[in-house]
Amino acid sequence: MAELHWMPLYIGDYLRDTGHLTGAQHGAYLLLLMHHWANGPLPTEEKQLARIAKTAPVNFKKMKRTVLSFFDLTEQGYVQKRVMKERQKQIDISAKRSAAGRLGGRPSESKSFEFAKAKPNRVKSDQNQSQLASKGEANNARVRARPSRSFSNGSDEEGNGWALAAAQIVGHG
């Protein structure tokens, strides 16, 4: 199962639905939501719910009806519809990203086949190869002959460091 390290919180929706809660009820509700996000359905035992909400059982008993009104009781425990919907969405996204990561950036077979067809193999003559090699050596010599510039944080005083470095390498700077 995917590890869900973060949870979306739709502030407008939350405030609209919870404007009647006290500070203690907000705290308990948010802690229950976060536990539900990370672990799935909440337990049904009042003492466990109080521990999750970080409040004394006697205090939780007073707020239980109000706080648990946001949850539905199922066979698995207390669930909150929005949490379940968002949680499933994140699990699906994580699975897709994991599958894409396993491909390692390789194109699918159909795309790699189309790419191979579109690019004909070009064989360069020995003369072209030698001209390209000597031209490359001349460019390398020019880059080496220039005094080096210091590019702390990737730029010079005018902020042009990477452009200057690229121009030197290409032979235009």
pLDDT tens digit sequence for 78-135 = 999 999 998 888 888 888 888 888 887 666 666 655 655 665 555 555 555 556 555 5
Task: Give the tens place of pLDDT for each residue, 51-78.
Answer: 999 999 999 999 999 999 999 999 999 9
pLDDT category at 152 given cuts 50, 70, 90 is very low
Q: Mean pLDDT for the chain? A: 77
Q: Spell out the residues 6+ positions from residue 64 whose beta carbon is closer than 8 angstroms to its own.
A: 46, 49
CATH of 11-92, one of 1.10.3470, 1.10.3210, 1.10.10, 1.10.860: 1.10.10
From 55, 59, 47, select the one nearest 30 (Cα to Cα): 55
User: Distance between CA atoms of 66 and 20, rounded to whole angstroms?
Assistant: 10
Q: 162 or 9, which is more confident? A: 9
Determine the 3-state secondary structure of 153 from DSSP: helix
pTM over 0.85: no
All structural domains of the chain with their residue ranges: 11-92, 146-173
